[in-house]
Chain A
Amino acid sequence: MKFTKINSTAIPLPIENIDTDQIIPARFLKATTREGFGENLFRDWRYEKNGDTRADFVLNDARYSGKIIVAGKNFGCGSSREHAAWAIADYGFRVVISSFFADIFKGNALNNGILPIQVEEDILQTILQQIYQNPETKIQVDLEKQTVEVPDLNFNITFDIDAYKKTCLLNGYDDFDYILNQKEAIEQFEQNRVDAFFL
């Protein structure tokens, strides 16, 4: 999925260390396709045990909606399950803003057309406060320019992204096709190895 610009309201989720078990609990990992995981995104925070929705969880709060999650530090830690990224994408999110991301989650997000944006802690808090004050606040993300703009706050920051991953997102490419094109180099490598006695 190509990614260029997003202009959207956002969901505030100021909890730290949100692990992938919370994003999608293990018992919902049994599907063998990539679709439908959005239904169980944040399952145990979103629903009571009997299936009733929990009014106190932000996804069930009608004031908040949008394609962006603004989350606390160390988002996506724990299990490597790509299902977490699938669930976030399937629900309709395209951007996660946090002050820190766990490594594997970050990679999985980028491989699924979701843009993880890391900002300073104080900026994260400013954005969160603004959303709480006015849930209609729009956040503009421009991948080409690597900027996040919040017109209501009159601020505009730039974020870092790996140049290669940026190209992939802008064009909707993934690593797979690139690696497939390196077939000769891979075979060459295999032939030249000296330590391959274990293979």
Chain B
Amino acid sequence: MIKKARTLFDKIWEAHVVERKENFPDLIYIDRHFIHEVTSPQAFDTLRQKNLPVARPKQTVATADHNVPTKNQHLPIKETLSKFQVDTLIQNCRDFELELFGLGHEKQGIVHVIGPELGLTLPGMTIVCGDSHTSTHGAFGSVAFGIGTSQVGQVLGTQCLLLHKPKTMRIEINGKLRRGVSAKDIILYIISQISTSGGTGYFVEYAGTAIEALSMEGRMTICNMSIEMGARGGLIAPDQTTFDYLKGKEYAPKDEAWNKAVNYWGTLHTDEGATYDKVLYFDATKIPPMITYGTNPGMGVGIADTIPLDSFEGSLDDYNKALWYMDLTAGEPIQGKKIDYVFIGSCTNARIEDLRTVANFVKGKQKAKDVEVWIVPGSKSVEVQAKQEGLDQIFIDAGFELRQAGCSACLAMNEDKIPAGKYCVSTSNRNFEGRQGPGSRTFLASPLTAAAAAITGKVADVRTMLQEETDLLTV
């Protein structure tokens, strides 16, 4: 019998079908479940109402990230409601016997940063979390996606979900990235081309020479923002880069199991001749450093471009509303725009490699006078590593503030907020109205572009500031 050529996504999905019936969603087994304090309390309530235990407690891991302060983490959380939510998570993990990497724990951090760094995220897995950026974990060749709280309850109670199989899309990016251009620019560029709904209904596989050349950190940045094009998730076939990253990680398989695992992971790629529902191609050499100017991640342009005169999709009213909110004018250049804050953090760009890139660029430079710069590591271990490498001193010397791990100003649920009307160049993933605090105005960009803004106090083209040696170190 000749086996049908299958995509990477198909292989992983099919390996997790517990039950399939016609005209009915598939019953899918979930290997790894991450939870955090915001989207889990109501799910635990459901378990209590149904008088159920957690079905497979070893497959769920918890952390506190959205609500946590990023300064003085050793002190009790000041904000009452935040404290209550974090305490509720502690209580729930205790009651249901789940592993918690809570505040103060050496493994604490943003859920999508700690999973990979601990080796809890592995190729071939199905991974879910009550959080849309669960797509990050797809960088390892896993099927990873965000779910709602009702589904969090179902996974806790049964380790399964009822799901319709999404359509598949391949996005192929070939060619070598130009100087000063990084993974973040690739994904901002793609979303600016296909819009925030261009991927809705699809699960995306990223491929091509530009993707293969990326580090795991860069691949995570790309998969992270799959949701910003509306896709259910994104994934990348595991390769030597993936295995090298995982080898020796705390929860990754060891010895004999490791060899077995690598053998299996080696089969996780799209077969020759397999077909997708949609295929898109992009040329990496054409991608400039990107920046967003509007209130959704699809409203992005090359840093040297002007703000478009009209929306390429959607209504002119909505387009004008976004520019009004941002207090920007169609047709004006984005470069040179004065900014107030720089936020280098979030599950998109707060891994050690991001901090190294920034440190390497700002070494010996000073931040602009009127700009506040926050560097918020994605996890406790990134924070420790940054200090071990002496990056903290570089940041201090530049006038940056190195904080403690958490989601921070990515969503401003904690104390870190950008004030109303202020502009922030941010390495996070969403520029929605009020996302970084009520009335805040966000420009999404790469860590390098954010660093350039920190130094100049303006939206700046990092390419004009790069020296030859820095060139080699861009993510």
Interface residues of A (CB under 8 A from B): 14-17, 19, 21-22, 25-27, 29-34, 44, 49, 72-74, 77-83, 85, 100, 102-104, 107-108, 111-112, 162-164, 174-176, 178-180, 182-183, 185-186, 189-190, 195-199
Contact = CB atoms under 8 A, between A and B. Distances in A.
Contacts of B81: 30-31
B23 interface: yes
Contacts of A78: 132, 227, 430, 432
Contact of B122 (A182, A183, A198): A198
Interface string B52-82: 1000001100000011000000000000011
A21 B82 contact: no
Nearest to A19: B432
A77 B154 contact: no
B310 interface: no
Contact of A112 (B59, B150, B196): B150
A199 B59 contact: yes
Interface size class of B (residues with CB under 8 A): 35 or more
A174 to B, nearest CB: 7
B411 A26 contact: yes
A175 B230 contact: no
8 contacts: A21-B432, A26-B411, A30-B85, A107-B148, A111-B150, A185-B18, A197-B260, A198-B124
A128 to B, nearest CB: 12
Contact of B39 (A33, A80, A183): A80
A44 B84 CA distance: 24
A73 B314 CA distance: 8
Given A29-B413, A199-B59, A80 B153 contact: no
Contacts of B261: 197-198
The 8 closest A-B CB pairs, nearest first, are A32-B41, A82-B148, A30-B81, A80-B146, A108-B148, A80-B132, A82-B149, A111-B150
A98 to B, nearest CB: 11
B456 interface: no
Given A32-B85, A33-B45, A74 B197 contact: yes
B130 interface: yes
B182 to A, nearest CB: 23
A123 B52 CA distance: 45
Given A15-B321, A179-B158, A197-B260, A82 B59 contact: no
Given A27-B438, A32-B45, A80-B146, 5 more contacts: A34-B42, A72-B318, A74-B230, A103-B230, A162-B25
Contacts of B84: 30, 32
Interface string B18-61: 11000111010101000000110110011000101000001100
A100 B150 contact: no
User: Which of A32, A72, A111, A164 has the most B CB atoms < 10 Å from its CB?
Assistant: A32
Interface string B426-449: 000010111100110000000000
A199 to B, nearest CB: 6
Nearest to B92: A32
B131 A80 contact: yes
User: Which of A44, A183, A189 has the most B CB atoms < 10 Å from its CB?
Assistant: A189
A164 B39 contact: no
Interface stretch (B100-108, B160-168, B343-351): B160-168
B148 A100 contact: no
Contacts of B25: 162, 164
Given A30-B413, A103-B230, A186-B18, A195 B264 contact: yes
User: Which of B82, B122, B149, B296 has the most A CB atoms < 10 Å from its CB?
Assistant: B149
Contacts of A164: 23-25, 162
A176 B257 CA distance: 34
Interface string B315-330: 1001001000000000
Given A103-B232, A189-B18, A17 B296 contact: yes
A45 to B, nearest CB: 9
Given A104-B147, A104-B148, A197-B260, A176 B50 contact: yes
Contacts of A195: 15, 124, 264
B154 A186 contact: no
A22 B432 contact: yes
A51 B160 CA distance: 43
User: Which of B59, B166, B434 has the most A CB atoms < 10 Å from its CB?
Assistant: B434
Interface in B4-28: 15, 18-19, 23-25, 27
Contacts of A32: 41-42, 45, 84-85, 88
A125 B29 CA distance: 41
A108 B150 contact: yes
Given A85-B148, A179-B160, A17 B434 contact: no
A195 to B, nearest CB: 6
A185 B19 contact: yes
User: Which of A34, A112, A195 has the most B CB atoms < 10 Å from its CB?
Assistant: A195
Given A32-B42, A100-B197, A27 B260 contact: no
B151 interface: yes
Given A32-B42, A103-B230, A182 B27 contact: yes
A17 B150 CA distance: 24
A141 to B, nearest CB: 22
A80 B147 contact: yes
Nearest to A168: B162
Given A21-B432, A79-B132, A179-B162, A163 B157 contact: no
B403 to A, nearest CB: 18
Nearest to B256: A197
A199 B19 CA distance: 20
A73 B197 contact: yes
